[in-house]
Structure 1
Amino acid sequence: MLSGLPGRRLLAQRCDDALVVQALDDAFAPTGERVRVPAPWPSRRGTWAVAPDASLAVFAGVHAVRAVEPSGATRWEVRHGCWYGACREMHTSYDEYADRKDHRYPEGGSAGFSADGKFVWAHVRGPLTTGELDPKAIDEWLLLDAEDGRLLARADAGAAAAGSHHLPHPVDPTQMGLSIGEGQDGAPLRWGRWDGRTMAVDHIAEDLALMSVSPSGERLMTVAHDQDVLAVRDSRGSVLDGLEWDAETAVPRHPDAEPDNDEASPCWDWAGGFIDETTLICSTVESDEEWGEGRHWAIDTSGARTPVEVSYPLPVGTQAGIALGDGLWCTASESGDALLVWALDRD
């Protein structure tokens, strides 16, 4: 995974027993020592996030959010309710359920660092081991001090998640986006703000996936849960004028698709994002794969606003692109053993 803002790029790979992180310079060349953070549980049992300076990794697991230093030392841990829905135990360790068949496929939450690395936002299954919230709350959204794990604020996420991911505001560390997946039931989208005392949560929608935040933090890229509509919104959730695209009418069917097949209509992938403040990279790979090579699209929201198919000079595999900002995005190579970084030819 390639992440981070321009000037603070990180290449990270989650192995089963560790998270390996390499800092990169602006030319994507390795800089400094590679960091290996031991993982407290296997990769299939949770998600992870890494601080912008790679000094700390946070693992969001089935029963706890744990912050681990490169030395392997646990800096702090916040325990919470078990993500396996039928379980009401407050586990104290992973070993308690590691071999239990009923815990093989738990649901899950996530964690994310603020842009400056000072805060960790964590989406957890309630309740916490200390303190009280609304007893009807199923999922909680926490704001934690990254240094010591101190709970700064908490709120009811208003969801019953199967999974989630965080997207930070690139400039303001007191704002964070949370995209929640509830399987077939929906996709709640939340935007959090902290004023130094309390957390305010905007319930933007119940059926949207948050894919990207623009470099300024003022624009959000979303895809509808059923993948038919892609849109650019302000941080309160309102669609900006004219910046909404229905896949069925915005992009043509795959050239090899059966013309009379109703299932051949394109749909947007849950991937892509802002490669700069006004340009999007997006894809229809999932709906294209039955007919042939998947397609990527660039959209200039300040110009024609029409999706333009990206033509690559070499095969890029079947994955959607990952927006990097600074005019760049990346894809996996066709073999899957390398990441390729791209920029649009503006000529």
Structure 2
Amino acid sequence: MSPVAARLVATLTAPLSASEAQAPELSRPAGRTALLQRGDREALWVPLDDSYALGTSEEASVRFPAPWPQRRGTWAVAPDGSLAVFAGVHAVRAVEPSGTVRWEIRHGCWHGACLEMHESYEEYADRPDHKYPERGSAGFSSDGRLVWAHVRGPLPEGELEDGVIDEWLIISADDGRVLARVDACAAAAGSEHLAHPDPGQMGLSIGEGQDGAPLRWGRWDGRTLAVNYFDGHDLVLIGLNPSGERFMTVSHDQGTLAVHDTADGSVLTQWDVESDVPRHPEAEPENDEVWAAWDWAGGFLDETTLIAGTVESDEEWGVGRHWLLSTGQQTPEQITYPLPVTSAAQALADGTWYTYATSDFGVMHIWTRA
């Protein structure tokens, strides 16, 4: 099958330098593209126009003062850029662009051996044993009214049953009221949220290091939080198609990429990396131990087309590869680029995807199919 050529749409330079900030990311909540970047002192939300140009968008950028350094947690921003939520070691804190704290919910400490209920970041800021804690995450619903937060229990009030380690909360973005909470049935090293177009649905991908990758799917009807725990499966949630009817996962061992029906979680299509991805062309012909693995990155380009990669494993043999996949076709098509591409690909569900152009992740390339 002939390769698929990629066409460069735009090139973006990160607002904050790599020496002071994390790699920038692009997101499309509610169909609006924005650049997100987190530094130690601030977090940026920069809306982009249809040509992905920063240009005058930099004037409309929103800067949120960060309550703690970037290594001490994660963050999320409302679809309209009006509020940021920082998921830290001891609390989830909602911060307005002015720096005003709208609300805060304290929880158990994300440093595994610590049983303290910290009152503030300053209590452990200089403690060596809290330098590299585990972490949870937060995500806004598609309409921005709810915050879903994965936290280390317990909360100061109303504990769940004994033995609960991680909790999953639904919080009112307006006032910080906890509307629902359930046992996440995990002991996370990290996690990520993925918002569904339906404000009452959210995906949660949990990483437990080598122990596993629990996937959770939540549905909130305004009164009850129902969770699909995908018992017995370790799956990393990668992306949703634009309608939200399908989601994409990669197995914890990186051997299987699958498309699921969002309604019930069933597998509709899957690709096995050993049988469906060809041997790397730069590997030594006599080497019998050439292997490939799906990257934990990619996503949907449209309703039925996905992008995935084998970059991480390909680096053992040569240039990393990206693949175009269709739910109606079993054979992946390799993507070719006019410029060197060494990073994984991240889909934006509008026919485009992005990669990083430099090793410090300071420059991003936006691509589409030629």
Match of 1:164 among 191, 197, 202: 191
The answer for the alignment partner of 1:94 in structure 2 is 121
- Distance in 1 (CA, whole Å) between partners of 2:295 and 2:101 is 37
- 8 Å contact kept, 1:5–1:324: no
TM (norm. structure 2) is 0.89
- 8 Å contact kept, 1:6–1:326: no
Moved more, 205-214 or 144-153: 205-214
Higher relative contact order (CA 8 A, sep 6+): 2
Moved more, 230-239 or 23-32: 23-32
Deviation at 1:6, TM superposition (A): 6.8
**Is it true that 1:194 corresponds to 2:229 in the alignment?**
no
The answer for the alignment partner of 1:307 in structure 2 is 332
**Is it true that 1:136 corresponds to 2:163 in the alignment?**
yes
Q: Hey, which bits of structure 1, 4+ residues long, moved more than 6 A?
A: none
**Percent pairwise identity:** 66
1:30-85 CA deviation, whole Å, 9 max, x = no partner?
43511111100000010110111111111101000011111111111010000111
**Is it true that 1:22 corresponds to 2:46 in the alignment?**
yes
Deviation at 1:337, TM superposition (A): 2.9
What letter is aligned with 2:63?
Answer: R
Match of 1:322 among 337, 341, 346: 346
Match of 1:291 among 317, 321, 325: 317
Where 2:230 maps in the other structure, the secondary structure is strand
1:88-131 CA deviation, whole Å, 9 max, x = no partner?
10001011011111111211110001111111000000000122
The answer for the alignment partner of 1:46 in structure 2 is 73
The answer for the alignment partner of 1:228 in structure 2 is 255
Q: 1:250-289 to 2 correspondence within 5 Å? A: 250-289=276-315
Deviation at 1:147, TM superposition (A): 1.0
The answer for the alignment partner of 1:342 in structure 2 is 367
- 8 Å contact kept, 1:123–1:142: yes
CA 1:258–1:18 in structure 2 vs 1: closer, same or farther (change >3 Å)?
same
Where 1:70 maps in the other structure, the secondary structure is coil
Moved more, 156-165 or 131-140: 131-140
The answer for the alignment partner of 1:111 in structure 2 is 138
- 8 Å contact kept, 1:7–1:25: no
The answer for the alignment partner of 1:13 in structure 2 is 37
1:256-305 CA deviation, whole Å, 9 max, x = no partner?
11345454211100000001110000000000112111100000213x33
- 8 Å contact kept, 2:30–2:143: no
TM (norm. structure 1) is 0.95
What letter is aligned with 2:331?
Answer: T
Q: 1:169-184 to 2 correspondence within 5 Å? A: 169=196, 171-184=197-210
1:155-202 CA deviation, whole Å, 9 max, x = no partner?
100111111000010x20000000001111111000000011110010
How large is the Cα RMSD of the aligned pairs? Answer: 1.3
CA 1:262–1:73 in structure 2 vs 1: closer, same or farther (change >3 Å)?
farther
- Distance in 2 (CA, whole Å) between partners of 1:156 and 1:342 is 40
Moved more, 3-12 or 91-100: 3-12
**Is it true that 1:239 corresponds to 2:291 in the alignment?**
no
The answer for the alignment partner of 2:244 in structure 1 is 217
- Distance in 1 (CA, whole Å) between partners of 2:332 and 2:29 is 25
Moved more, 187-196 or 2-11: 2-11
Deviation at 1:141, TM superposition (A): 0.1
Where 1:325 maps in the other structure, the secondary structure is coil
Where 1:233 maps in the other structure, the secondary structure is strand
CA 1:29–1:7 in structure 2 vs 1: closer, same or farther (change >3 Å)?
farther
- Distance in 2 (CA, whole Å) between partners of 1:21 and 1:306 is 38
1:140-165 CA deviation, whole Å, 9 max, x = no partner?
00000111111111110011111100
- 8 Å contact kept, 1:175–1:192: yes
Moved more, 26-35 or 201-210: 26-35
What letter is aligned with 1:128?
Answer: L
Deviation at 1:8, TM superposition (A): 1.1
Moved more, 91-100 or 202-211: 202-211
- 8 Å contact kept, 2:276–2:330: no
Match of 2:182 among 155, 162, 173: 155
Deviation at 1:328, TM superposition (A): 1.1
- Distance in 2 (CA, whole Å) between partners of 1:110 and 1:250 is 34
- 8 Å contact kept, 1:83–1:108: yes
- 8 Å contact kept, 1:7–1:26: no
